[in-house]
Amino acid sequence: MRAMIFSDLITSKNSALALLGTTMLIAIFIAIPTGTLYGAIGACAAMVPFMYLFSISAYDEQNGWERYRLTLPISRRQVAYGRYASMLVVCVCSLVLAIVLGLAIGLVCDMLPAETVPEGVRLSNAGVGEVVGTALLTQTVILFVATLVLPFILRYGMTKATRIAPMLLIFVFAGVCVLAGNTPVGAQIESFVAGLGAGEMAALVVGVIAVVLALYLLSSLVAARLYEHREL
Amino acid sequence: MEDMIRVQGLAKRYDDFALEDVTFSVPAGTVVGLVGSNGAGKTTILKTILGLATPDAGSVRLLGCDPNAHEPGNGVDKVKARVGVVLDTCAFPMVSRVADVGTLGRAAYSLWDESRFEALCDEFDLGQKKAVKDLSRGMGMKLTLAFALSHDPELLILDEATAGLDPMARDEVLDILRRFMEDESHAILFSSHITSDLEKIADEVICIEAGRMIFDMPKDAICDEAGIAHCRAADVERLAGSEFADGFYALHRAMSTDLLVPHRFDFARAFPDIPVDRISIEDYMALMLKGEPIGQSPRLQDTSKGAQR
């Protein structure tokens, strides 16, 4: 599995610097017009793993790399588990990046004179806990998306999976909307969260992360089984 | 000699193609060439040997192991570490650099020899900073070959490995393969359209056409024993009537008829008035595939190991 993780990370390292630069620019350009640090942190946390997931899967299909990789001493299970592990590594890295970038932007804005930047972008107003929480929850959402789409990518390849995965995500979203009834989902979450204390909120975040990680693990087991039966 | 690859009764069906009853082996110390036209089934055979496609029937053993058994602990990973593979394209991710390919080899193979990889890259004029996407087809194949040879493999499986290389580079590659075969415990399975390369290096030649094995013969039986006779119409009629014509295949040309004869020296003695030359693998294949059998019981003669047609 080590070889598979290496393979994924070596492949993506050449585009990492460009992605990092783009992410920083996007973070700044989201933070200033929206007047809030949270959007910038969310964009940072989501963009890197999301782009990684789809670009690394696309590289698999170029020039028969996926086929050739299986001629190396890597089993099919190791390929599947390695892909999940490399995705997790990228998620953790982008989580750290989003937090550091969020704190850095907030701190710099704190030092700027009044009325030169929106108040919501200053770290003193946004709060360190909220910055970390935003990054964590965004990352959790991305991990949940990966949980849903990775088995399809590994079973059918990126080209076919891009026809199936968006449909699946729409079904999940539609299912959530139906369960939510007439009140918009966002409003329900907002009212639910408003009633929670700091301790309950922390417990909720930890709980959500734990559930998504468990689903991610389960998804990797399913994906490994599916990948074993794929003809390449 | 121990068989490094053993394929027995292999069958694989797709919607528009079927590989039927393919049986052959690659013993240690031999170079086996797979020839056949496009879509004949050569790559399908290689894919089943490498565990990339599951056979519908028959069995495949790669270094004594079933490459299509995916259960953990079946030893396939260890077996694959002893095999070097070159497929028909340079398969490394386009964004990678030559040095990244070396890093990957180090991570994947316990016996990876970085100095060997760098030496081969130097020999092939492959700069370590060069991106895979900037390599020509020939250079890409050289990179794949350098990768396949840098972990001390015992067996090489090559699918059109010399395609896209200029004649000088092909000779370089063939020299490397000859050096590889100096160790008698090594073997090569080499699929190629360039039959002249097989003439230089192969010990056995297997011809596949439309998913079926046409012949499996020692190369010497083709290049040293068999021949191509250039006949007039009257000669063909004379030969067709004789019992001597068993195993002859005739391909009619505008002015003459080319005749595949399994034993050209015997033929020359029996018919000194008919010119007979040494035959190339390409001509042998063409006559077997396009020619029509003459004589009473058309079949290959004693040199064939498992000929079918």
Residue pLDDT, tens place only, A127-167:
888 889 889 999 999 999 999 999 999 999 988 888 887 88
Q: Among all chains, which residue has been given the structure tokens 């498992």?
A: B306
Chain B CB contacts of A70 below 8 Å: 50-52
Number of H helices, E strands in chain A: 8, 0
Are residues B202 and B230 located together in one domain of the fold? no
Are residues B104 and B64 located together in one domain of the fold? yes
User: Does B146 reside within a domain?
Assistant: yes
Nearest residue to A171 (alpha-carbon basis) of A141, A148, A153: A148
Are residues B118 and B255 located together in one domain of the fold? no
Q: Are A139 and A45 in contact (CB under 8 A)?
A: yes
Average pLDDT over residues B87-92: 89
Nearest residue to A68 (alpha-carbon basis) of B51, B207, B7: B51
Rounded-to-integer distance, Cα A101 and Cα B12, Å: 54
Are residues B262 and B204 located together in one domain of the fold? no
Q: What pLDDT is recorded for position B295? A: 64
Q: Using CA coordinates, name the residue in chain A closest to B77.
A: A73
Chain B interface with A: residues with Cβ < 8 Å: 47, 50-54, 70, 72, 76-78, 80-81, 83, 85, 87, 89-97, 100, 103-104, 107-109, 131, 157
Which of B221, B245, B273 is where one domain is finished? B221
Are residues B192 and B242 located together in one domain of the fold? no
Looking only at Cα atoms, what is the longest distance across chain B?
Answer: 67
Cβ-nearest to B96 among A11, A69, A78: A11
Q: Are the beta carbons of A59 and B93 separated by less than 8 Å?
A: yes
Q: What is the DSSP letter of A113?
A: P
Which of B165, B194, B221 is where one domain is finished? B221
pLDDT digits (tens, 9 = 90+) for A180-219: 777 777 788 778 878 888 888 888 889 999 999 999 999 9
Q: How many structural domains is chain B composed of?
A: 2
User: Does B96 reside within a domain?
Assistant: yes
Q: Among all chains, which residue has been given the structure tokens 């390599």?
A: B135
Q: Among all chains, which residue has been given the structure tokens 């087991």?
A: A221
Are residues B54 and B172 located together in one domain of the fold? yes
Q: Is the pLDDT score of B264 beyond 60?
A: yes
Q: Among all chains, which residue has been given the structure tokens 């990339």?
A: B52
Tell me the ipTM for this assembly: 0.85
Rounded-to-integer distance, Cα B108 and Cα A48, Å: 26
Q: How far is A145 from chain B (nearest CA, A)?
A: 25
Q: Is the pLDDT score of B296 beyond 70?
A: no
Are residues B38 and B178 located together in one domain of the fold? yes
Selected residue of A63, A76, A79, A81 to mutate for chain B interface (largest B Cβ count, 10 A): A63
Q: Are the beta carbons of A10 and B80 separated by less than 8 Å?
A: no
User: Does B299 reside within a domain?
Assistant: no
Selected residue of B56, B96, B144, B160 to mutate for chain A interface (largest A Cβ count, 10 A): B96
Average pLDDT over residues B213-222: 92
As a whole number, the mean pLDDT across chain B is 88
Average pLDDT over residues A5-10: 90
Q: What pLDDT is recorded for position A31? A: 82
Q: What pLDDT is recorded for position B298? A: 43
Q: What CATH number did the domain enclosing B44 receive?
A: 3.40.50.300
Q: How far is B197 from chain A (nearest CA, A)?
A: 24
pLDDT digits (tens, 9 = 90+) for B141-182: 899 999 999 999 999 999 988 877 888 888 888 999 999 999
Q: Are the beta carbons of A68 and B70 separated by less than 8 Å?
A: no
Rounded-to-integer distance, Cα A59 and Cα A81, Å: 17
Cβ-nearest to B89 among A64, A75, A231: A64
Are residues B233 and B177 located together in one domain of the fold? no
Q: How far is B40 from chain A (nearest CA, A)?
A: 18
Q: Among all chains, which residue has been given the structure tokens 């734990």?
A: A210
pLDDT digits (tens, 9 = 90+) for A81-128: 999 999 999 999 999 999 998 898 889 888 888 778 788 888 888 788
User: Does B307 reside within a domain?
Assistant: no
Q: Is the pLDDT score of B303 beyond 60?
A: no
Are residues B204 and B60 located together in one domain of the fold? yes
Chain B CB contacts of A69 below 8 Å: 91
Strands (E), chain B: 3-14, 17-27, 31-35, 57-62, 83-86, 155-159, 187-191, 204-209, 212-218, 227-231, 248-252, 257-261, 276-278, 292-294
Cβ-nearest to B107 among A3, A228, A231: A3
Cβ-nearest to A10 among B90, B96, B109: B96
Residue spans of the domains in chain A: they are 2-228
Q: Are the beta carbons of A232 and B109 separated by less than 8 Å?
A: no
Are residues B231 and B119 located together in one domain of the fold? no
Are residues B290 and B245 located together in one domain of the fold? yes
Chain A interface with B: residues with Cβ < 8 Å: 2-3, 6-7, 10-11, 13-15, 59, 62-65, 67-78, 228, 231-232
Chain A CB contacts of B102 below 8 Å: none
Q: What pLDDT is recorded for position B1? A: 64
Which of B187, B203, B221 is where one domain is finished? B221
Q: Using CA coordinates, name the residue in chain B closest to A4.
A: B108
**Domain span including residue B51:** 3-221
Nearest residue to B81 (alpha-carbon basis) of B141, B25, B2, B148: B148
pLDDT digits (tens, 9 = 90+) for B121-145: 998 889 999 999 999 888 898 999 9
Q: Is the pLDDT score of B75 beyond 90?
A: no
Chain B CB contacts of A15 below 8 Å: 95
Are residues B110 and B241 located together in one domain of the fold? no
**Main-chain dihedrals φ then ψ at residue A199, nearest 5 degrees:** -65, -45
**Range with the poorest average pLDDT among A18-27, A185-194, B89-98:** A185-194
Average pLDDT over residues A69-73: 93
> What percent of chain A shows pLDDT beyond 90?
36
Q: Using CA coordinates, name the residue in chain A closest to B144.
A: A68
